[in-house]
Structure 1
Amino acid sequence: MNENKNIVILGAGESGVGAAYLAQQQGYDVFVSDFGAIADKYKQQLKDWDIRFEEKQHTEAEILKAVEVIKSPGIPEKAPIVKKLREKGIPVISEIEFAGRYTNAKIIGITGSNGKTTTTSLTYFILKNAGLNVGLAGNIGNSFAYQVATEKFDTYVLELSSFMLDDMYKFKVDIAVLLNITPDHLDRYEYKMENYAASKFRITRNQTANDVFIYCADDEESLKGMEGKSFNAQLLPFSIQKEITPGAYLQGEKLIIQTNQQPFEMNIKELALQGKHNIYNSMASGIVARVLDLRNETIRESMAQFKNIEHRLEFVAKISGISFINDSKATNVNSTWYALESMTSEVVLILGGVDKGNDYNMLRDLVKRKVKAIVCLGKDNKRIHEAFEDDVEVIVNTASAQEAATVAYHLAAKGDTVLLSPACASFDLFKNYEDRGRQFKDAVKEL
C-alpha cells in the first residue's frame, strides 16, 4: 500500500483552495502552489486552515513528491510543470474528479460552448424551488470540493467547462447536458475543432443505462461528434426545428417536453428568458426537471420567474431613451451572435479584448442588419476593423470601460441599444469578464 499521502494543488483560486480543504479533511498532506499571486481572500483561508502554500513560483522538488496533483482548469497542458508531472507519470486530475470521490449525491452536469451558466442557474433554480436539497458548483458559485467538505447536498448542478472535463476520468454524471459546440478556446486544443468537441463529450464518460444524456438535435457539431459513438445512457434530445419524442420540441409557440411521464407544456412567451437561444436553454433545464419527476406546475412557475445571471444580457439602465445591456460574459463570437440575434432595435456594439482566434464572419450578417456603430474595447483591435470595416460606417477605438460607454452613448440615438458583448476574453484591460461588466455598469451609471 502506498503510504505517500502528499497531494499538491496547482492554482489557488476558488477550485484549488476548495480542493485543498477537502484533501486536508481526507487526511492528505496538502501543498498548494500558484505560479501567480494568490488573492488575499484565498491566502487568508489557507492560513486559517494551516495549509502550506507558495505563490509566484513552483518548487519542483516539492511538487514532484506528490502521489497525485489537482490542477486548476485554467492551467494549460503545455505549462512546464504539467509537462514534468506527465513525464514522471504522476496523475493530474481536476477538482471535480477529486471531489466526486467523496460524495454520493446525484450529479447533473451541464456543458456547451454557450448558455452553460444560464442553463445551470435555471436548472438549480427549478430544483431549489421544487424543494430539493441541491448545491450549485463547477464554473459557478462556491467550489464543488469545498461544498462536498462542508455540506450534505443530495443533488449537485455543476457547470462544467471543457478544461474541467479534460482532467476527469472516473467521475460520473447522472444527468449530462450538452447544449452546443461552437469554436472556443481552440488555442488549448491545437486549433482543432474535433479535439475541442471530444473534450465536451467527456461529460458522457462512465454513464450507464440508468443515466441520461440530453443534447441539442439542431446543433451540427454535437451531431457530428455523436457519429460512430455508442452511448450507454438514455438519449433525450431537444429541438426547435422538428418534433422529437422522447425529448423537447416546439409546436407553434408551445414548448413541449415529452419524457416517459406526462407531457409538460408552456407557451414560450411566458418564459422569463426570451430569445431563440434561451428556448434551447429552457428546454434543457426542463428535461432535467422532468427526468427528476418534478411537478409540471413547479417547473412552469420557475421558468416564468427566473432572473438571469449578472453579465449575461443584463439590463443596466435606460438613459435618454437608450437601453444599455451588459453581456460581458460573451467571451466568444457565438455568444455575441446570440446576443445580437435577440436584439430588436438598432445597436451600438462594444466589441473587443483578447482575441482567441475568433472568426468574425458568422457575425457579419447580423452586424449589417442591426449594428449602426462598433466601439472597440481592447488593446489590439486590428482584426475587428478588418472584419467589419465594410459593414458599418463607424468603428471607434477606446481603452477603458468608461470611455467605451461614453463614446457609445454619443453614437446612439433614442430607441437604440448599447450592447457590451465583446466576443473576446477580458485580460488585456480587466481582471476578468466580471470586472469588465462591473466597470461598464459603473460607467453607464455615471453618464
Structure 2
Amino acid sequence: MKKISDYLHKNVLVIGLAKSGLAAAKLLHQLGANVTVNDLKAVDSDASVQELRELGVQVVCGDHPLSLISDSVDLVVKNPGIPYSNPLISLAEKQNIPTITEVELAYKISEADIIAITGSNGKTTTTTLIYEMLKEAGKQPLIAGNIGTVACEVAQLATKDNVIVMELSSFQLLGTIEFRPAIAVLLNIFDAHLDYHGTKDEYVYAKGKIYENQIGTDASIVNFDDREVCELSEKSHAEKLFFSTTTMLEGGTYIKDESIWYKNEQIILIKDIVLPGAHNLENILAAISAVKLRGATNDAIVKVLTSFKGVKHRLQFVENINNRRFYNDSKATNILATSKALQAFTVPTILLAGGLDRGNEFDELKPFLKHVKAMILFGETAPKLERIAKESGIEVIKRVDNVEQAVITAYEVSDEDDVIVLSPACASWDQFKTFEERGDIFIQAVHKLN
C-alpha cells in the first residue's frame, strides 16, 4: 500500500465497530493517527474491543457520548449503515469536521487502480462478472466493498499489478471526498433507501459521487437508457463509454442482431449466455465495457458468460425437483428487483414474497404478474401482497408463517415445468437478520423436498 502521511498525528473518531470499523481503526493506527473508536452495542469483552485496546486504541462502548466530538477531532470515520442523524455525526457536521467511510481510506492507500460499481440494482452481479472476466483474462483482480470484503483491507494488500473491483452502496459513496476510481460504473437509478437518505435527491447525489472526481485519464461507464444516470455522468470529466440494450451505439456497448457488440466488434450471441433474465443484459453490457477497457480478451469474456449462472441470492438457480425449477432471489428487497425477476420467466411461475413493511403498497408489481399462477405470502406485508394478488386475478393465494412453509406449499400447488421463485419485494428484517439468511433458509427448505 502507499505510505501516506495524511493521517499522521491526526485525532480520528471511528464510529461503529463492525468489520469496516475494525479495519479502519487498525489501518489508521498503523498510519500514525490517534484513534478513538465508539460503538453503541459493543461490550468490553468483545474480541474486537480487546484487540484494539491491545494496540493502544481507545474504545468507548455502550453509548454515544457527545463529549467525543470536540475541537481537537480532525476526522470522523463512520460505518456506512449509521445514519447522518446520529447525534455524534450531526454534531461533527455542525462543527465542520469531515465525515468519511472507509472507502475513502482505501482509495488514499491503494497502489492499484479501482473499478467502482454502483446502482440501485445489479451491483453484485456486475461486480462479480467484472472480477471473473478479469481473472479469466489474467489481470490479477481483487474484489472488495459492499460485496463483503472491507475495501481498506483489500487496498492494503493490492499492488500496482492488481486492479480492485469494488462494489459500492450509496451509503459508502456519500462518505467520500477525494475518492476517484479509474473506471466508474453507474448501472441505474431507482427509488431506494429513502428511509436512510430522506429524499431521492440526496440518494441520487450519493450515487453521482462515483463520477464526481474523475479526470480525463479515467473512464465513466454510463447507462444510455437511464436519464438520471446520463445526467449524473455530466459531473465527470472522464472519457464516457455508454451502454444500451435498446439503442445501437457505434462507440459503446450495445445489442444488434441478437448479439452483444463492443463498439464495432461482435462479442457473443445472446442465446449462448447462461445467466437468466433480460435485466441481466444491462449488467453484462456494463461488465464488458469495463473489462474491455482493461484489456480483457473476447475469449475470456465469452468463457465467463457461457458458464456464469449468477450470484447467490440474486436469481440463483437452486435445484430442479420433478421438473419444478427453484430460484433464490432473496436479494430482491424492493418492487423493482422482483419485477425484473418475474420478467426473466415466460412459463407459469409461483412467487414467494413478503417481508418488512416499510409503508409502501405493491400496485407497481401488478403488470409483472401475468405469468404468476400462485402467490405464497409471508411476513408483515402478506396482507398487502394478498390484495395485489386478488386484484390481478391470481387464483391460488396462500398465506404462511415463514419461508420453510412457503417452499412446501409452493411445491404442493405446483405442476411440472413450473418455476418457483423466492423474490420477496421486501427487506428481510421482520423475520431475519439479513437477506442472505432468508435465502439460505429457502435453499435448505428446497433441498429437504428431495
Same fold (TM over 0.5): yes
Matching residue of 1:250: 255
User: Structure 1 residues 3, 282: closer, same or farther in 2, change over 3 A?
Assistant: closer
Note if 1:106 corresponds to 2:117. Answer: no
Q: Name the CA distance, whole Å, in 2 between partners of 1:320 and 1:237.
A: 43
Residue 3 of structure 1 and its aligned partner are, at CA, apart by 7.6
1:328-367 matches, within 5 Å, as: 328-356=330-358, 358=360, 360-367=362-369
Note if 1:444 corresponds to 2:450. Answer: no
Q: Which amino acid aligns with 2:382?
A: N
1:378-389 matches, within 5 Å, as: 378-389=379-390
User: Structure 1 residues 136, 2: closer, same or farther in 2, change over 3 A?
Assistant: closer
Q: Name the CA distance, whole Å, in 1 between partners of 2:232 and 2:126.
A: 21
User: Contact 1:328–1:436 at 8 Å: present in 2 too?
Assistant: yes
Matching residue of 2:136: 129
1:165-184 matches, within 5 Å, as: 165-184=173-192
Alignment deviations for residues 23-63 of structure 1 (CA, whole Å, 9 cap, x no partner): 12112232322223589675576467664434442233235
1:59 to 65, 73, 76: 65
Note if 1:17 corresponds to 2:19. Answer: no
Matching residue of 1:278: 280
Q: Name the CA distance, whole Å, in 2 between partners of 1:25 and 1:181.
A: 38
Question: Normalising by structure 1, what TM-score?
Answer: 0.91
Q: Which amino acid aligns with 2:74?
A: V
| More displaced 10-residue stretch of structure 1: 414-423 or 303-312 | 303-312
User: Secondary structure of the equivalent of 1:305?
Assistant: coil
Q: Name the CA distance, whole Å, in 2 between partners of 1:212 and 1:2.
A: 29
User: Structure 1 residues 355, 214: closer, same or farther in 2, change over 3 A?
Assistant: farther
Alignment deviations for residues 232-265 of structure 1 (CA, whole Å, 9 cap, x no partner): 111111112111021111112110001xxx7242
User: Structure 1 residues 5, 198: closer, same or farther in 2, change over 3 A?
Assistant: closer
User: Structure 1 residues 359, 4: closer, same or farther in 2, change over 3 A?
Assistant: farther
Residue 385 of structure 1 and its aligned partner are, at CA, apart by 2.9
What's the Cα RMSD here?
Answer: 2.4
User: Contact 1:346–1:370 at 8 Å: present in 2 too?
Assistant: yes
User: Contact 2:315–2:341 at 8 Å: present in 1 too?
Assistant: yes
User: Structure 1 residues 222, 387: closer, same or farther in 2, change over 3 A?
Assistant: farther
Q: Name the CA distance, whole Å, in 1 between partners of 2:309 and 2:63.
A: 41
Q: Name the CA distance, whole Å, in 1 between partners of 2:149 and 2:7.
A: 32
Matching residue of 2:38: 33
Residue 118 of structure 1 and its aligned partner are, at CA, apart by 0.2
Q: Which amino acid aligns with 1:198?
A: Y
Q: Which amino acid aligns with 2:245?
A: I
Q: Which amino acid aligns with 1:382?
A: P
User: Secondary structure of the equivalent of 2:437?
Assistant: helix
User: Contact 1:360–1:387 at 8 Å: present in 2 too?
Assistant: yes
Q: Which amino acid aligns with 2:246?
A: Q
Residue 10 of structure 1 and its aligned partner are, at CA, apart by 1.5
Question: Normalising by structure 2, what TM-score?
Answer: 0.90
Alignment deviations for residues 177-228 of structure 1 (CA, whole Å, 9 cap, x no partner): 11111111122232x43332222111101111111111111124324555xx
User: Contact 1:333–1:358 at 8 Å: present in 2 too?
Assistant: no
Matching residue of 2:270: 268
| More displaced 10-residue stretch of structure 1: 115-124 or 239-248 | 239-248
Identity of aligned residues (%): 36
Alignment deviations for residues 279-320 of structure 1 (CA, whole Å, 9 cap, x no partner): 111111111111112222222222223242111111222233
1:316-335 matches, within 5 Å, as: 316-335=318-337
Q: Which amino acid aligns with 1:233?
A: A
> Size of the alignment, in residue pairs?
440
User: Structure 1 residues 373, 45: closer, same or farther in 2, change over 3 A?
Assistant: farther
